[in-house]
Amino acid sequence: DAGVIQSPRHEVTEMGQEVTLRCKPISGHDYLFWYRQTMMRGLELLIYFNNNVPIDDSGMPEDRFSAKMPNASFSTLKIQPSEPRDSAVYFCASSPSRVAKNIQYFGAGTRLSVL
């Protein structure tokens, strides 16, 4: 299996621009998670989906952030408008059903820099 695939690997944008991060989970996994990693706050869960349905978005920092999962093989995290404080590494992870030991498999992350 190719694992969780995220794109782009790096993104540099200017303040005020829209940013879209993409994720392809491992085929057959029911859960998809979006995390943000910063030096100040560490790894934070932003939102997660079960069978394409958002279950918990309490970690989404502001209305500028939105996430969608239109089908089982694709998810996006959008920031509009972006701000310098959004600069971070954003990870996507997927997990099989709960009976499969709750293990989350991470992508390589997208490093976002907002200038």
Partner 1 sequence: AQTVTQSQPEMSVQEAETVTLSCTYDTSESNYYLFWYKQPPSRQMILVIRQEAYKQQNATENRFSVNFQKAAKSFSLKISDSQLGDTAMYFCAFMKYGTDKLIFGTGTRLQVFP
Residues in the chain: 115
Q: Which strands form 65-71's sheet, in the order they lie side by side?
A: 5-7, 19-24, 74-79, 65-71
Task: Report in angstroms how near the CB of residue 81 gets to partner 1 at its nearest.
Answer: 26
Residue 17 corresponds to which tokens in the numbers above? 């621009």
- Residue 18 binds partner 1 (CB under 8 A): no
> Exposed, middle or buried, 14 (CB in 10 Å: 0-12/13-18/19+)?
exposed
Q: Is 98 in the site for partner 1 (CB under 8 A)?
A: yes
User: Shortest gap between Cβ of 23 and partner 1 (angstroms)?
Assistant: 13
Q: Which is nearer to partner 1, 72 or 81 (CB)?
A: 72
Q: What residue ranges bind partner 1 (CB under 8 A)?
A: 31, 33, 42-43, 45, 48, 50, 55-56, 89, 91, 93, 95, 98, 101-109, 111
